[in-house]
Amino acid sequence: MDTLLATASFPLSVSLQGLALSLGLIVAIGAQNAFVLRQGLRREHVGSVVLFCAMMDALLMAAGVSGMAQALGERPGLACALALAGAIFLAVYGWRALQRARHSSELKASAGGDGLSRRAALAQAAAFTLLNPHVYLDTVLLVGSIGAQQPGALRGWFVAGASSASLFWFALLGFGARWLAPWFARPRAWQVLDGLIGTTMFGLSALLVRHAFNGL
Cα–Cα distance for residue pair 215/213, rounded to 1 Å: 5
End-to-end CA distance of the chain: 34
Mean pLDDT by 10 residues, the chain (216 residues): 42 85 78 82 90 94 81 69 79 85 65 73 88 74 83 87 93 86 75 83 83 68
pLDDT of residue 5: 32
Cα–Cα distance measured from residue 114 to residue 120, given in angstroms and rounded to the nearest whole number: 12
b/e sequence 22-33, b meaning 16+ C-beta within 10 Å: bbbbbbbeeebb
Tell me what pLDDT residue 85 has: 80
DSSP secondary structure of 171-209: HHHHHTHHHHHHHHTSHHHHHHHHHHHHHHHHHHHHHHH
What one-letter code names the amino acid at 4? L
State residue 104's pLDDT score.
63
- What region does 79 belong to: left with phi over 0, alpha with psi -120 to 50, or beta? alpha
**Residue 99 near residue 92 (C-beta atoms within 8 A):** no
Q: Give residue 216's pLDDT.
A: 55
Which among 119, 121, 100, 123 is positioned nearest to 198, based on CA atoms?
100
pLDDT, one tens digit per residue, over 139-184 is: 888 888 888 888 878 888 999 999 999 999 999 999 998 787 677 6
pTM of the model: 0.68
